Amino acid sequence: MPIIKAALLGLGTVGAGVYEVIRNQQEQLKELVGAEVQVVAVLIQDTDKEREVEKDVLVTNNIQEILAIPDLDVIFESIVGAEPTNRYLDEAIEYGCHIITANKEMFAKHGEALLEKALENDVQIGFEATVAAGVPVIRTIQQQLQLNKIGRVQALLNGTSNFILTEMRKKQLPFAKVLKTAQSLGFAEADPTNDVEGIDAFYKIMILSQLIYGEQPEWNTVELKGIASVSEDKIYHSDGRYKHIAELEKVGDRIQATVRPIIVDEQHPLYSVEGVDNAVVLETSLAGAIMIQGPGAGSKPTASAMLEDFIHIFQDSKAAVLS
């Protein structure tokens, strides 16, 4: 049976989830892509830290050692930050590797250039996991709404902020206490700034803007407010529910985007989306308003999105070979 050689860039929560799914779902993956999937290398920062990977897997902090592997087929990337990740992926594309990424900051900043380079080098990039973890919004837009024009997007794109607002309102608890709970459950990072200040959701809505409209608004024109800007009293006693909503709309030739906490009532489609769930409402020209909802945090949902991208890419490759 053919072998697909894969490398993981990053072995944190997401990378470890990808590795686990590949190991545990090997037989199903063989049926779906017609090949055995082997993780042959992992890029990490700390080489002294013990890693739970097979002994024959190369564990290194040197990207060149990974790119030198003969016939490397695909890279799963889940590093935090735009650089040096962008440089790593740019070089991997030149080597003929397909790319599957969960890195929203890097892709918001460099996705367009990487997609162009991938096209030139006859490889593909999967980026479903950059926006809403296990919620398949990218493929819905790319494949199921090709005839539709999307006029407006409203979305909950950060599971951490949605969890915090939900718990504060339901249990009448202060922000600091709920944040500690979120961190203990693995829903929030040790430094939660990107989540609670809306930066994470901002990168994600920029990715959607690029996908839907082929461009992004000027970043300095986007209204960006975090959930800490809302007083605890307002969250406890509001008639509606505070939701940290990212909005995107094209008005004439101008793209408008915001990320901010707003009050919604029972009539709003995002009113009932609670906890760590993400949800995206797409207002389309033919199908009307479409809402997609699901888990927006955790290793398994994100790994699921990355593996689905992988299957899509290699089923396409398999079909091309057969034809």
Phi, psi angle pair for 89, to nearest 5°: -70, -40
Which residues, including other chains, have CB under 8 Å from residue 91's CB and lie 6 or more apart? 63, 67
**Among the listed residues 6, 23, 2, the one whose alpha carbon sits nearest the alpha carbon of residue 97:** 6
Check the annotation: does 288 bind a ligand: no
d(CA 83, CA 105): 9
Q: State the burial class of residue 191 (Cβ atoms within 10 Å of its Cβ: 0-12, 13-18, 19+).
A: exposed
Check the annotation: does 13 bind a ligand: yes
Phi, psi angle pair for 154, to nearest 5°: -125, 130
Q: Are 20 and 52 in contact (CB under 8 A)?
A: no
d(CA 109, CA 25): 33
Element (H or E) spanning 249, and its range?
strand 241-251
State yes or no: is 49 an active-site residue: no
Check the annotation: does 189 bind a ligand: yes
Check the annotation: does 240 bind a ligand: no
Check the annotation: does 21 bind a ligand: no
Q: Are 290 and 137 in contact (CB under 8 A)?
A: no
The residue ranges of DSSP E strands in 24-122, in sequence order, are: 36-43, 58-60, 74-77, 98-101
The count of other CB atoms within 10 Å of the CB of residue 284 is: 16
Examine residue 2 and say whether the peptide bond preceding it is cis (omega within 30 degrees of 0): no
Nearest-5° angle of CA 291, CA 242, CA 131? 45
Check the annotation: does 15 bind a ligand: yes
Check the annotation: does 273 bind a ligand: no
Strand pairing report for 241-251 and 254-264: antiparallel
- The catalytic position among 30, 149, 180, 204 is 204
Report the greatest alpha carbon distance in the chain.
63
d(CA 89, CA 100): 10
Known binding residues: 10-15, 104, 189
Residues flagged as binding site for NADPH = 104
Binding site per annotation, positions for L-homoserine? 189
Active site members: 204
Q: Which residues are annotated as a binding site for NADP(+)?
A: 10-15
